[in-house]
């Protein structure tokens, strides 16, 4: 029996169309738009001005506060303007527009193809390097990695978990990275291990990626403390708390963080970025993005410079199909639908999916038949039907008692509902209202 | 084609399950029992089922069209299920007009007055059945004796059900061992060759339906197993205490409507609890009430009443019996 998390979960069609497509480098576009906030926390402070010449890898917005991140230029060229854009979140934010001239990297980056195995930096230096290099969680949440590596006083971490689950359908960026940059990922894991001062790492990979499991298992024999674990395919296993439960059967209490049970989780993409930052001194300005969709002529996986408009990715994948009805940034379960194709690829962009018209509209909403399938699907054992009704009727105090804020918005309930009810839409509404209420209460 | 993109919040994909598919799954699961009831009760079974299904659909249509003035949803399968289940609870010789009245009560009163699908507190088919049982006690308790396809409709030869034979006999002071000779064998009951309402006679057909519902994940095991289990435990205790006055557990489970009730009636989504813990309590409640009514009550069998009584507790059970949430109470190491 393969391990998995016990409560709830679903198994949507995997549709991993690009699982066998080797990662290619997307040509550098003529101009890029680099948002100064590509992470959770405070946006960076822009430190370049119109007309400045910047090099690839140069800091253009510097970290502001602890929970924040540096933003680096992904290209060399002239700053055209600093202006606001509307990004995938739908909110306005500042971005640096750069007209590309050549590709001149800052000198400190080691551009050789040689794999550096020896870890020279100390624990503190590793964390500092991650901070300087703008490393954030590349699984989608984009939480600044240096914060996760800084263990608060009094907490004891005994295990690092590397998340190679990639439980979202369609996406294959982590899968390809494990196959093509396996050794770098494991060195990255070893670096993170050193930073956290732990002596073991578990890498969790869902069993629909047997080639990645085999490849990393072979490579892991050369590393001390690293073990690879195959997991049963079940969404949302890539969620930190579910992955921890699946791998080591520890349950992170409601409202707490993984480090409260002695574990820290980093994504395989993050481990690769950490390798590049620490061993090659390369800041995070490039990532793997899956561009996929059933109607695309040439779906694939690409190394993409941040700030590249997703239009370029779609062109590289054979152009926008006529039947496109929805474009999603991220996975089909948790990604965000975008309203134009000029929005830039950012650190958190794991994939772009083009859905045909017939898959982009919601089904009709029918009455709740109280079948309880939403409860069985919920990985937290919440009662989505109830949370929806409470939010709909404005009964937010009760929704809070029913633990609406525990919801991680994985979408399993809406996916499962036979009546096509928009459970998660209403739960989001209730959850944000309850969080706002709690904040106001604390201010009093 | 338009160049506009759809914008909607995640998830951007939906499972294949729909209300309609679930309802037709139940219909399919009822088919073995329907076929066997036609096999045992002939033309009467066909007439009763057709009348019940058609009148349930027609009443739902009329109410939605003319009273509620809402979109018509009779194709969602729920009225079809109610019609089938109501028919399964009737003797195959019952006059058409009584079935129509029962359907009106089931759909009109028990379902649509509360707002239609998803809002009714009591199982519509059972409300219809109990209404008919109280209003037409004679017609509702004269059970045709199975004679295959030759069984007539109104003119069918009737007899008492096994549970009624036992109940009457014990009241008249006969001993159980004498009575057991008058009732069908366990094998006959298993195959359904006994007097009784159309859908409940053939245990084997109902169990096939149960397996299908479990495999298709239409229902979970919790409610049927807890009902049958608690009946088995309770009747075993009674039987061990006094085997001369109390029938054995196998008899209780196979003779009446227990299987039909446990598999198809008590598991009705709308009127049953929504989490496994509450489902088990609900099931045990039904089991215990069934035995109490059957053994001590005025009616020879109690599963319908037991389910309706427990239906009344479901809103409270949903409100107070909560699943244990992830991360709620944590014991690590």
pLDDT tens for B226-236 read 999 999 999 99
CB contact under 8 A, B327 and A337: no
- Which tokens hold the place of B34? 């329907």
Which of A369, A401, A416 to mutate to probe the B interface, most B CBs <10 Å?
A369
Clarify whether residues A151 and A200 are in a common domain: yes
How far A389 CA sits from the closest chain B CA (Å)?
13
Clarify whether residues A138 and A262 are in a common domain: yes
For residue A391, give its domain range. Answer: 373-443
CA distances, B124 to each of A389, B81, B82, B109 (Å)? 24, 10, 7, 8
What's the rounded mean pLDDT across residues B305-316? 96
Write the ipTM.
Answer: 0.89
Residue A216 lies in a domain: yes
CB contact under 8 A, B325 and A381: yes
Picking from B4, B2, B11, the residue whose alpha carbon sits closest to that of residue A353 is B11
Clarify whether residues A190 and A220 are in a common domain: yes
Q: CB distance from A319 to chain B under 8 Å?
A: no
How far A74 CA sits from the closest chain B CA (Å)?
29
| Phi–psi pair at A42, nearest 5 degrees | -70, 140
Reported as a single tens digit per residue, the pLDDT across B109-127 is 999 999 899 999 999 999 9
Interfacial A residues in 320-339 facing B (CB < 8 Å): 322-328, 330, 332-339
pLDDT at residue B3 above 80?
Answer: no
Clarify whether residues A160 and A263 are in a common domain: yes
Clarify whether residues A250 and A129 are in a common domain: yes
Beta-carbon contacts of A50 under 8 Å, excluding residues fewer than 6 positions away, are A79, A80, A81, A82
Picking from A379, A371, A345, A368, the residue whose alpha carbon sits closest to that of residue A421 is A368
Q: How many alpha carbons lie under 13 Å from residue B96 in its C-beta half-sphere? A: 8
Residue A2 lies in a domain: no
pTM: 0.91
CB contact under 8 A, A251 and B326: yes
Clarify whether residues A151 and A43 are in a common domain: no
Rounded to the nearest integer, the mean pLDDT of chain A is: 94
Reported as a single tens digit per residue, the pLDDT across B114-162 is 989 999 999 999 999 999 999 998 888 888 887 776 677 777 777 777 8
Reported as a single tens digit per residue, the pLDDT across B88-107 is 999 988 999 999 999 999 99
Clarify whether residues A148 and A213 are in a common domain: yes
What's the rounded mean pLDDT across residues A402-420? 95
Clarify whether residues A203 and A143 are in a common domain: yes
Local confidence band at A354 (pLDDT 50, 70, 90 cut-offs): very high
What's the pLDDT at A265? 96
Q: Residue ranges of the domains in chain B? A: 19-139, 160-320
What's the pLDDT at B255? 81
Question: Closest partner residue to A253 among B5, B78, B327, by Cβ?
Answer: B327
Q: CB distance from A84 to chain B under 8 Å?
A: no
pLDDT at residue B200 above 80?
Answer: no
CB contact under 8 A, B269 and A371: yes
CATH number of the domain encompassing residue A51? 2.40.50
What's the rounded mean pLDDT across residues B241-253? 85
User: Of A309, A339, A360, which marks where a domain is finished?
Assistant: A360
CB contact under 8 A, B327 and A338: no
What's the pLDDT at B333? 47
Residue A207 lies in a domain: yes
What's the rounded mean pLDDT across residues A160-173? 96
What's the rounded mean pLDDT across residues A198-206? 95
CATH number of the domain encompassing residue A194? 3.40.50.11540
What's the pLDDT at B331? 61
What's the rounded mean pLDDT across residues B200-219? 91
Task: From chain A, pick out residues whose CB is under 8 angstroms from the CB of B8.
Answer: 326, 337, 362
User: Of A304, A336, A360, which marks where a domain is finished?
Assistant: A360
What's the rounded mean pLDDT across residues A301-305? 97
Reported as a single tens digit per residue, the pLDDT across B258-289 is 999 999 999 999 999 999 999 999 999 999 99
CB contact under 8 A, B11 and A411: yes
Q: Cα dihedral sign for A236, A238, A242, A243?
A: positive
Clarify whether residues A172 and A256 are in a common domain: yes
Helix/strand/coil for A336: strand
Taking the alpha carbons at both ends of chain A, their separation in whole angstroms is 52
Beta-carbon contacts of A139 under 8 Å, excluding residues fewer than 6 positions away, are A163, A174, A238, A267, A269, A270, A350
Helix/strand/coil for B285: helix
What's the rounded mean pLDDT across residues A300-322? 95
CB contact under 8 A, B18 and A362: no
What's the pLDDT at B332? 55
Reported as a single tens digit per residue, the pLDDT across A252-288 is 999 899 999 999 999 999 999 999 999 999 999 999 9
Residue B268 is given by DSSP the state: -
Q: CB distance from A2 to chain B under 8 Å?
A: no
CATH number of the domain encompassing residue A341? 3.10.20.600
pLDDT at residue A443 above 80?
Answer: yes
Based on the structure, what is the number of domains in chain A? 4
Pair B124, B106: CB distance under 8 Å: yes
Residue A317 lies in a domain: yes
Clarify whether residues A143 and A248 are in a common domain: yes
What's the rounded mean pLDDT across residues A308-329? 94
Clarify whether residues A223 and A336 are in a common domain: no
Clarify whether residues A295 and A260 are in a common domain: no
What's the pLDDT at B1? 42
Q: How many alpha carbons lie under 13 Å from residue B111 in its C-beta half-sphere? A: 32
Picking from B304, B214, B220, the residue whose alpha carbon sits closest to that of residue A371 is B220
Residue A106 lies in a domain: no
What's the rounded mean pLDDT across residues A150-178? 94
Local confidence band at A350 (pLDDT 50, 70, 90 cut-offs): very high
Interfacial A residues in 369-428 facing B (CB < 8 Å): 369-373, 375-376, 379-383, 385-386, 403, 406, 409, 411, 414-420, 424-425, 428
């Amino acid at each position: 029996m393969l391990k998995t998390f016990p409560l709830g979960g679903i198994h949507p069609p995997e549709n991993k169309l690009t699982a066998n497509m080797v990662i290619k480098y997307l040509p550098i576009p003529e101009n890029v738009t680099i948002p100064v906030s590509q992470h959770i926390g405070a946006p960076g402070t822009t430190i370049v001005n119109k007309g400045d010449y910047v090099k690839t890898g140069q800091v253009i917005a510097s970290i502001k506060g602890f929970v924040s991140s540096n933003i680096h230029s992904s290209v060399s060229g002239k700053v055209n303007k600093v202006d606001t854009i509307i990004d995938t979140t739908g909110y306005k934010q500042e971005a640096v527009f750069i007209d590309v001239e050549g590709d001149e990297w800052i000198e400190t980056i080691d551009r050789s193809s040689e794999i550096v195995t020896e870890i020279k930096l100390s624990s503190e230096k590793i964390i500092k390097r991650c901070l300087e290099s703008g490393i954030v969680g590349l699984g989608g949440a984009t939480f600044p990695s240096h914060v996760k590596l800084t263990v608060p006083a009094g907490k004891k971490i005994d295990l690092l978990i590397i998340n190679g689950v990639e439980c979202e359908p369609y996406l294959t960026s982590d899968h390809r990275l494990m196959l093509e940059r396996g050794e770098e990922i494991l060195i990255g894991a070893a670096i993170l291990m050193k930073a956290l001062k732990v002596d073991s790492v578990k890498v969790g990979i869902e069993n629909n990626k047997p080639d990645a499991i085999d490849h990393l298992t072979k490579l892991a024999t050369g590393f001390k403390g690293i073990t690879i674990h195959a997991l049963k395919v079940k969404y949302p296993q890539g969620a930190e708390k579910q992955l921890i439960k699946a791998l080591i059967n520890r349950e992170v209490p409601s409202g707490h963080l993984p480090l409260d049970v002695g574990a820290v989780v980093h994504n395989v993409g993050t481990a690769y970025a950490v390798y590049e930052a620490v061993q090659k001194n390369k800041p995070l300005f490039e990532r793997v993005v899956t561009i996929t969709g059933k109607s695309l002529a040439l779906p694939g996986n690409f190394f993409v410079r941040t700030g590249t408009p997703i239009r370029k990715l779609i062109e590289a994948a054979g152009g926008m199909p006529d039947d496109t009805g929805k474009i999603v940034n991220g996975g089909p379960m948790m990604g965000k639908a975008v309203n134009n194709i000029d929005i830039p690829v950012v650190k958190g962009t794991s994939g772009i999916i083009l859905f045909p018209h017939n898959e982009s509209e919601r089904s009709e909403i029918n009455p709740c038949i109280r079948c309880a399938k939403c409860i069985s699907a919920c990985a937290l054992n919440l009662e989505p039907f109830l949370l929806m009704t409470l939010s709909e009727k404005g009964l937010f105090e009760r929704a809070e008692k029913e633990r609406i804020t525990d919801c991680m918005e994985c979408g399993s309930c809406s996916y499962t509902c036979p009546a096509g009810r928009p459970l998660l839409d209403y739960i989001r509404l209730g959850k944000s209202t309850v969080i706002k209420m709690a904040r106001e209460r604390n201010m009093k | 084609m338009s160049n506009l993109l759809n914008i909607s919040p995640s998830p951007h994909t939906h499972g294949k399950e729909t209300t309609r598919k679930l309802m037709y799954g139940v219909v399919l699961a009822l088919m073995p029992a329907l076929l066997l009831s036609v096999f045992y009760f002939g033309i009467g079974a066909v007439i009763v089922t057709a009348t019940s299904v058609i009148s349930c659909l027609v009443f739902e249509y009329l109410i939605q069209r003319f009273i509620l003035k809402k979109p018509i949803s009779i194709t969602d399968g729920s009225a079809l299920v109610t019609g089938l289940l109501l028919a399964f609870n009737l003797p195959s010789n019952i006059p058409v007009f009584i079935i129509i009245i029962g359907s009106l009560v089931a759909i009109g009163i028990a379902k649509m007055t509360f707002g239609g699908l998803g809002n009714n507190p009591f199982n519509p088919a059972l409300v219809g059945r109990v209404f008919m049982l109280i209003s037409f006690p004679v017609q509702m308790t004269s059970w045709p004796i199975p004679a295959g396809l030759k069984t007539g409709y109104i003119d069918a030869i009737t007899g008492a059900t096994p549970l009624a034979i036992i109940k009457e006999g014990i009241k008249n002071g006969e001993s159980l061992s004498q009575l057991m000779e008058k009732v069908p064998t366990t094998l006959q009951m298993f195959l359904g060759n006994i007097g009784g309402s159309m859908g409940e006679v053939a245990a084997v057909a109902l169990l096939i339906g149960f397996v299908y519902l479990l495999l298709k994940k239409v229902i979970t095991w919790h409610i049927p197993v807890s009902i049958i289990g608690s009946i088995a435990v309770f009747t075993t205790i009674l039987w061990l205490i006094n085997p001369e006055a109390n029938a054995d557990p196998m008899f209780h489970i196979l003779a009446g409507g227990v299987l039909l009730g446990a598999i198809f009636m008590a598991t009705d989504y709308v009127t049953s609890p929504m989490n496994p813990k509450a489902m088990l309590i609900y099931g045990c409640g039904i089991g215990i009430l069934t035995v109490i009514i059957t053994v001590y009550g005025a009616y020879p069998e109690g599963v319908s009443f037991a389910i309706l009584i427990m239906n009344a507790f479901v809103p409270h059970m949903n409100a107070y019996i909560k699943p244990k949430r992830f991360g709620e109470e944590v014991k690590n190491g």
